[in-house]
Structures are given as structure tokens and as C-alpha cells.
Structure 1
Amino acid sequence: MKVAILAFGSRGDTQPCVALGRGVRARGHDVTVVAAPRYAPLMDGLALAPLSVDPVAVLDSDEGQAWLRSGPLGFVSGFRRVVEPLAEKLVVEVDAAARDADLVLAPALGGMGAHLSERYGMPYLLMHFQPSHPTAAFPNPLVPARTLGGWGNRVSYAVIERLSSLVLGRMVDRLRRSVFGLGPARRGREAPVLCAVSPLVVPRPRDWPARVHLTGYWRLPPGPLPDEITAFVEEGPRPVFVGFGSMRPPEGLATRVLQALRLAGVRAVVQGLDVERSANVLQVEEVDHGALFPLVSAVVHHGGAGTTATGLTAGVPNIVCPFFADQHFWGARVAALGAGPAPLPVRRLTAEALAARVLRAVPNPRLAARLRVEDGVRQAVDLLQLSG
């Protein structure tokens, strides 16, 4: 069987897709991952269909960062402004990569799985990296509220979907016509959903239908750390990790972080911030979180879904400093699980507040031990019901 996995985002979105792809390949199937070429080193035998547009470069641009900071309504409208000029090229590339697949695994945004299935007839499943199916248990993770009440929680999903349809519908229909030769999109059958989140972290809502599966995290085995990082970790007390993923730090954040580290009296590995190296601070760029996090005393991060999962699994305190979107959701979950303090939104981050959280943060080792034995990839592949 030929399986196409569509991985359109940054490393945090692509790495789980690769982990799932490896699990599918281990069952004897051919797997193609459609992703940016910068992630080729992750493939390890999987076929890569490279996209000509680099999502990291798009998100790192001034326009991309403004889009990401713009809240739910601005996020949807900004998607059209930032992505639409690139969309036709991307859709043509995805079509070429997936048209011969026997099964497509796709994210919900853009509806590519549905378009491919309608055009070529293959089945598809949706991949969610945050719990995005409507429920009364909590609001849509893009909405920065812990609860809106049962009715309000469910309505929040409908509002986000309606806004998406209003803003993106014309573009989607144009691309369906020009690339696939299809008419306007209509609501069809509801596809099965594989949600790559642990039920230990987000309990499965009782009102989800049977076709929505909370599988557990899709993780790659940790790789080796550079000698420089290993030596730094081993030469003194366990350091703190500080990194905010692909988020562009606001002015002065690096200075406030360094002040917080001095106030707390801790060593640190700092990723992605422009800080000066010293005896107590090692500045790094890309690093394997799965390998590093078990070796540190705490992790300070933005609350991305993948980073949160890795931090919780490592069994060290998570100090979440959300910027926007679902990061507030994950910060609230960390606090609710007793795996870290209340989130500290980056717009309110001061040296004193961050230092206090570093000193007070405690882990949840029992949760970490259970997460480490959970096999989300196996669960997801079992649910695919693949035949040879």
C-alpha cells in the first residue's frame, strides 16, 4: 500500500508525521512524507516529496509573525493574506505527490485530504496535533479561555470553523476548480480523526464520536546530542532549558531571560535567543529536545504542542510562556496536571516573575513515567487497519 502523509508546518508539525510514517513503513508499506526539504534528515528511509515553500521562512517573516500574533479572527484572515499567494504552487505539488496514494493522512487546515479523496477516490484520515474536534469539555484550543461553559465551548468550534469558511472558502473553491477540476466544496462524509495527543494529558471528551481517536503522542527516538551540549550539561549542576521554538522574541526578552537566570542562580541552555555565551549560559540553535530535556532541571518554553509533549515526557518542570493560539491551552494543561506553575504569558514576562517560577517549579514524575511507556504510533497504526 502507498501512504502519503501531508506535513505542512514547522518541525513541531513534521516530526510527529515522520514518527507515524516510520510506524506505517514498519508494517511493510510505502510511505511518502510531503514536507519542506529542510526536514530531509528526519526521514531515515521514508520518501520525501519536497515542497518548494519553506514554512519556517514564511512564519519567520515580519508578515508571518504579525499573522501568528493576530488572534483567531486575524489568524484566519492573515492565512489568506500570507498563504494565498503561495497556495496554488503548494496545492499542485501536493497533488503530484499524493495522486497515486492508496491512503492519505492530512491535517484539517485546507481540507487537502478531502479534495484528494474526491478527485482520486482514495480514503483519507485527518491528523490533529491538538484536540480540535468540537466538545463541551473545553473551548477550541485557538481560543485563549479555560472554559466558556458547556454550550459556549461547543460554539467556539463552530465560530472558528465559520470564520475559516468565510475567509478561505473562495480560495479553496478556486483551487479545487483550477487544480482538481472539482466544483465548490460541500460537506461530505466525516473522516476518521487521529489526534496525536495523550489521553493522560487531555482526557478524551465523552461527547466525541467514535471516529475521533486520541492515540497518544507520536514520538521519534532521541538522537545524539552535540559534544558541546553534553560537555556543558555534565560540567556542573543541571541547567535550565530556555527556548521559544519558531516564535520571534519581542524586544528585550533575551535580556529579561538572562536577568531571570541570574536571579534564580541557575545555569542554562538557551535556544534561539540572542544571548552572549558565558560559563553559565550555552547558546544553541536547533537541538533534539527529546535527547536534551531529560538532562535539564526545568524547561522554559512557548507551549507548542510538541514541545509540551516532550517536556511532560521528560519528567521535568515545564514553565510555559505562551505567545498566542493553542499555547495558552497547553500552558493551562501543564498547570492543571501539576507538571509546572501557572503559565506566564510572554507579554507579562519579567525577570522577577520568571525567576520565581524557575525556583518554585516542580515536575510530575508519575505522569512522565506513564507517558514514556505509551506507544501512540502503534495505537495510530493499528487504527489505520492497513492491509498489505
Structure 2
Amino acid sequence: MDGPSHHDQNRTSEELPPPPYSLYDELGSALTDGSGTVLSDNGRINIHLDSKVERTLSRFIDLRPNYEQNFDHESKQKHYRHLQAQQDPPSIPNSCAGIAATPPDEPFHVPFPLPLNIVIQIVGSRGDVQPFVALGTALKRHGHRVRIATHNVFANFVQESGLEFYPIGVDPADLMAFMVKNPGLIPEMKTLREGEVQKKRAMIATVLDGCWQSCIRDDPVTNEPFVADAIIANPPSFAHVHCAQALGIPVHIMFTMPTDNGQTFPKPRDWPAHIDVCGFFFRDTPVYQPPPELERFLKSGPPPVYIGFGSIVVDDPLKLINTVVDAVGEAGVRAVISRGWSNIVGPPNTNIYYIDDCPHEWLFRHVAAVVHHGGAGTTACGLRNGRPTVVVPFFGDQPFWGNMVAAAGAGPSPIPHASLDAENLTAAIRFCLRSETASAAQTLARKMQNESGVTAAVNSFHRHLPLDRMRCCVLPDQAAVWQYTKGSNRVLRLSKPALETLLQLGKIDVKKIQCYEPNPIHIENRRWDPLTGSLSSVTATGTNMIQGAGEMLYNPATNGNTDDSNSDISSRAYKSNGLATAGNMAAGTLKGFGKFTGGYFKGVTVDLPHAAAEGFRQVPRLYGEQPKDYGPVRDWKSGAIVGGRNFVEGMADGVAGLFVKPVKGAIEEGALGAIKGFAKGSIGLATKVPSAGIGLVAYPLHGITKSIESAFRSKTRKAVVHARLRDGSRQTYKMHLTPEQQGQIANKYDSL
């Protein structure tokens, strides 16, 4: 798993502890296969204290040991036993793509100095959810409150692991079916004709709303308030950075990353410091009692081959099972076949046993080889158990994993699902039964035993948190979620319990309280040049106008539908209903017309000029010059500042560059340098001056638009405020602050 964190960092890479990976200079020549997949030597993939007194004082003075401090083994075990005696946390069931079985000497989980509410947002199959359950379990052991936000079908799985669950809707089987039909970036024509794209958009809209609600809504089972202090997400959840932007909190994106030959996948040298390569997330082997029939089958002959395609939903499951059954017969092996989401099942066969859900960690210990779709979790689990592997990829990263398995000699070349037949599957199974293939798989297993991906990921998450900005000024072991302006220019960061206490004591003016954003995020569409920037703006404007025009026709028809099933309705009621219907139809028309005209005027007067100004300003990037950064445009005031600075400096640089750049080029490279400098100066004059002129109007108008849009988001802000107040009341109640402790909080506040 890899975690590029999108939050800001105050520390330089030199100040950070060593990352949980190593760079390998001896990777040698690139791995390549016939399909054009290359692993180059730079790591890139080219694809063609626990007393009451101490607890009280620790809120004001940080008396605990540094989280990064190294303890000797005896001290670790002693402190761990002490914590157990004081707290005795409940045992958590285990969660395959996650945390390795904990060795006796693995460092215990030191409570993190700043407990947080963490929401983990995941879209995908069980193989996508399971690694994050392992991660969430580890984070909970560090003292955090963890909520897993994913599809409803995984509720029991998450809750049985001891974590909170929030449903985001949508059946993941529908998402998998769409991906199988459309593995590329552009959907097939059949998909477009059948309206599948529109259905997919509706599903994504549901997921986006569900992910946002997971950040601020109460627990659906216990009704306990919850507001996220940080977000962890996989990329397909889409809403992650936007939720983080709305709350002003850190967000950490994690996704599966490749490995080569079972070693830790080295981090490419040109990747920035905030990206970490952590390794696979393995969970402990769960307690599992197999059905008697399965036990008898496993003991009745030689180890079988596992065949299953998990969450993949295929169009023709009958064809797939016939191919699998024929290959099992031709290869002369026994097989355990997983029905999966496609419910592949064939006729009774003494050499085949069909299973439903079964932990791979347990099952893969009892088979000779594994055949599957190449999901990262299933691939890792098979190889960690030393099982030769056949990958039948469908989409995404599955072909890559298949190629990596083949390059390591632990299996044959992957068989794309569209090319799968009994003949090539038979040959692939026989390849896995070779002694040299089994030996290569065992070599991989030994190397993977040394990985601790979850520990590395937890450390990565903690390391990238902006802790200095997240701490409460009054209770430094609590996360700050409010800011209070005291006096003319003194702004204090306050946690939920600190605010609750100070409000109860009448120490602060509620009118001076605002939501605090420890990690502000500003998202702006980058324009690369004036041509593509303007075309993009025109396209967006045209799309909005078309949608508005469509709603002018669609809304009246929708709003005009009435229920006329009651034939006994009175004439008066009928007339009243008719007037209401007419009013709804007129309102629908006006709404569509408003969207049409609004899209037009905003596009012409704001979006297009802003896109052109930004496009002209970014042109120097094309020849290696970095445009000046004037900061983000958040409101009318910042828009006016950016427009003014861009005008003054753009005009000055544009005119001066025509003379300065040729001279500088001549000094550095002679005559050729002078020619290059003249070309750069000419381009700068032709781009910076127009950007300065257009931007003088465009940036302030863009800022005004931002201010208007912000005003209409008051409903969202109110929802966040109410959620934080509820969560603050809950947290303060659980802390059971005594009058003496409340007095200490007040004194600390006064001292500030």
C-alpha cells in the first residue's frame, strides 16, 4: 500500500525519520515481457503515565514519552502490561491484503499523543476493504477512534473487526460489472447505448454524498456523534479531498503499490518526500472452522488447486465455469472453486468442491496452487503462503500483478480473461505444478514474511500529520477544532472539551467562535495554455447551458406529474391541485431557464476571461520558466490582490524580458543563447502582457464568484458546526471533568 498525503508539511525531508523503504541500486536491467510492460531500474512502470493526577497534568504539560522514542524490549513489554492492567482493551477479531501475524518482539502500540477521529473511505470489493480494516484495527490500538465508510454489504465484516461502520450506499457488484465491461478509459458504444454511463454517474453521486455524510453524521447504530479529524481513503472513493477541503483537515490517500520479485518495491528517486511505499497489509489468520464436507474433501486426495475470481462479475458465468471444469479435467487435478460474485458453479464432480466465503489465509495453506483474477490482496495472500499463482486479469492493476508473478517465476504469464480457454488454463495449471515454480513461490513467501506494511502505513500517517497545527492551545493532548479570537489579534485553537468547558464557565463569547481548519486545502483547475484553457472553459459553459435547456423541458414534465388514482376527488380539490401543478411546472421551467442564463453569463463574464488569463500566465512553463505564485483566489479580496499583482509584475516582466533574456542568454551560451533569450522574451511579452490586462478584471470577478458560492454553502457550514458541538458534548461527558479540572482549564486559558 502507498500513501501520498495531501496535507501540508512544515518539516523538510531532512528532518523526517528514515522512510519505511529502501532504494535499490542493484535492480539490474529492466523486467519486460512480450506485452511491452517494463519495470525500469528507477522503479517506474512503463506500460505499453496513568494516574489521575498525571492524566490531569498531561493535558497542560506533555509529560509522556516522545512517540518516536525507541524503547528496549523489556521496557516495551512492561509498559504494555501496565496499559493492559489499566485499560484492558477488548480483543479485536482479525481482518487478506493487510497486517502480518505479530511476532513476539514486534513493538507494541504506543498510544499516539493526539487521539483523532479518523474516517477511512473505501470504494471497491472486499479485497479493497480488507486491507483498511487491518489498518483501522492498528490505528484503534494507537488510541484513535476509527470509522470505516464503505458499501453496506460489508457492515458485518467491519463491525466484527471491532471498528465503527458507516454505509455509503451502492452495491459494489454493480461497480465491478461496469469495470469488467469497460476496462479502459473510454466506455464501449454498447455501454453508452444501454445507458450504463448515466447509471454509473448516479452511483458515484450516491458514493460522494455517502462519503461526505460519513465525515459528520452520528453513528447509525449507537447514535454517537462523530466528526472527522482526518481522512484516509483509496482513490476510487473520489470524495476524499473535497471532504477534507470542506472540513480543513488532513487527508491521506492510500492505494496498492507494486513489488518486484517479492522485495519491498523501491521508491522511485524522483517521487517527493510525502509519498511512502509501505508494502502489503496482512491481517492475522482469522479463527475459522471449515464445514465438515470441506475438511473431508481436502483430506480425501492430493492438495487441490484453488480457482476463484472473487468480486469479478462476468457476463457469461456458464461459459467461464465450463472452461474451468474442462481445464481441471484436462490437467488431472482436484479443485476448490469459489462461486464468487458471479456465482460460478458447475455440475457435481467428485474432484471439485464449490465454496462460498472462506478466508484465503486459511484455505491457501491447504492447496497446491491458486488461480484468480489478480487482485492485489489475493495475489499477496497466495504468494505469502508460497503458492504458485495463475492470474487471469480483467482490469486495473491485475495485469501488472500477473506480470510480476511471471517475472518472479512463481507462475505462468497472465491470461487475459477475453483469451481464457480450457487449453491455455490447463497449460497454466500444469506450469504451477512444476517443482521450480513451487520453489520460486516459496522464495517469495520467505521474503514477504519480513514485511510489516500496516506498521509502516500507520507510521507514515502519523508522520505526515501537521501536529503543531492540530493541537489545542489549552489541552495539548486534544485535537483543535475551533478557533477563538481573543482581543484584537490573538487567535486560540480550542478542542471540543476545552470549548465546552469554557462556554459553561462563561469565559468566551460565542460570537467570536469559528470552525478551525488545521489543514486548509485549496483546489484550483490549472490552465496549461490559453488555447486549451479557453476551450475547456467554453466546453464547460456549453455543457451547463445544455443542461439548463434540458431542464427547461424536463422539469415541467416531472413536476407536472400528479396522482389521479382517486377518482372521487372533488372539483374544488381538482382545481386546487391543477393550480399547484401549473405552479410547479412554471417553477421547473424558471429553474431550468435560470441555469441556462446563469451558465451563459458566468461563462462569458467570469470563466472564459479567467481561463484565458491563467492560460497566458502559465505559458512560460512550456520552456522551463516557473510562473510567479500569487496565492489562491478564495474571495473578492484575494481576487483583487492577485489581479493587481499579476498586472504590475506581468507588465514589468513581459516588457523587461524582451531585453534582459537575450543578454542573459548571450552571457551563458553566446550567440545561440542570445537567440534563445530573444525567443523567450518575445513569448513572455506576448503572454504576460495579455495575462496582466485580462487578469486585472478576471481575477477580481473570479473572487467575487467564490464569495457568492461560499455564501450559499452556509447550510454545509451549519451542519459541520452542529456536528462538532454534539461531538464536543459527548467527548466532554466521557472525560468526566471535575470542577478542579475545569478550573485548571480556565486558568490555562487566562494565562494565554
TM-score, structure 2 length as denominator? 0.40
- Stretches of structure 1 lacking an aligned partner (at least 5 in a row): 132-195
Correspondent of 1:296 among 367, 387, 390? 367
Superposition map of 1:119-138 within 5 A: 119-130=246-257
Specify the alignment match of 1:375 in structure 2: 452
The match for 1:330 is: 401
> Displacement of 1:225 after TM fit?
4.7
Distance 2:373 2:456 in 1: 28
Report the alpha carbon displacement of residue 199 of structure 1 after superposing the two structures with TM: 6.9
The residue type equivalent to 1:372 in the other structure is Q
In structure 2, what is the Cα distance between the partners aligned to 1:215 and 1:130?
A: 8
Say which is worse superposed, 305-314 or 50-59, in terms of deviation.
50-59
1:1-388 mapped onto 2 (5 Å cutoff): 1-43=116-158, 44-60=161-177, 65-67=180-182, 69=183, 71-74=184-187, 81-99=198-216, 100-109=227-236, 111-130=238-257, 200=263, 202-223=265-286, 224-227=288-291, 228-249=293-314, 250=316, 252-272=319-339, 273-361=344-432, 362-363=437-438, 364-385=441-462
Counterpart residue identity of residue 226, structure 1: P
Q: Measured at CA, do residues 381 and 328 of structure 1 come closer, stay the same or move farther in structure 2, by a change above 3 Å? A: same
**Contact between 1:331 and 1:343, CA under 8 Å: does it hold in 2?**
yes
- RCO comparison, higher one (Cα < 8 Å, 6+): 1
User: Offset at 1:72?
Assistant: 2.5
Secondary structure of the 1:254 match is helix
Deviation at 1:58? 4.1
| Structure with the higher helix share, 1 or 2 | 2
CA distance in structure 2 between the partners assigned to 1:232 and 1:290 by the alignment: 18
1:127-165 C-alpha deviation (Å, 9 max, x unpaired): 11245xxxxxxxxxxxxxxxxxxxxxxxxxxxxxxxxxx
2:380 alignment partner, SS class: helix
Find the aligned partners of 1:266 and 1:86 in 2 and give their Cα distance: 42
Q: Which amino acid aligns with 1:25?
A: K
CA 1:289–1:118: 2 relative to 1, 3 Å: same
Separation of aligned partners in 2, 1:40 and 1:87: 19
Give the CA deviation at 1:279. 1.6
Q: Do the aligned partners of 2:309 and 2:338 also contact (CA within 8 Å) in 1?
A: yes
* Paired AA for residue 209 in structure 2: V
Which residue number corresponds to residue 164 of structure 1? none
Question: Aligned residue pairs: how many?
Answer: 319
CA contact (8 A) 1:199 1:215 kept: no
Match of 1:144 in 2: none
Q: Which amino acid in 2 is paired with 1:109?
A: P
CA contact (8 A) 1:301 1:321 kept: yes
Write the letter of the residue equivalent to 1:304: G
CA RMSD of aligned residues (A): 2.5
Alignment check: 8 A CA contact 2:152 2:168 kept: yes
Taking a change above 3 Å as real, the CA distance of residues 220 and 309 of structure 1, as seen in their structure-2 partners, is same
Higher relative strand content: 1
Conserved 8 A contact 1:225-1:291 = no
1:258 aligns to what SS in structure 2? helix
Q: Distance in 2 between matches of 1:82 and 1:304?
A: 25
**TM-score, reference length from structure 1:** 0.76
What amino acid sits opposite 2:388 in the alignment?
A: P
User: Shift of residue 290 of structure 1?
Assistant: 1.6
Structure 2 unpaired stretches of 5+: 1-115, 217-226, 468-476, 478-752
CA contact (8 A) 1:3 1:29 kept: yes
Q: d(CA) in 2 for partners of 1:357 and 1:125?
A: 39
Kept in 1: contact 2:118–2:144 (CA 8 A): yes
Q: Moved runs in structure 1, 4+ residues, more than 4 A? A: 77-80, 196-199
Task: Mark the CA change 1:89 to 1:197 in structure 2 (over 3 Å): closer, same or farther.
Answer: farther
Distance 1:343 1:89, change over 3 A: closer
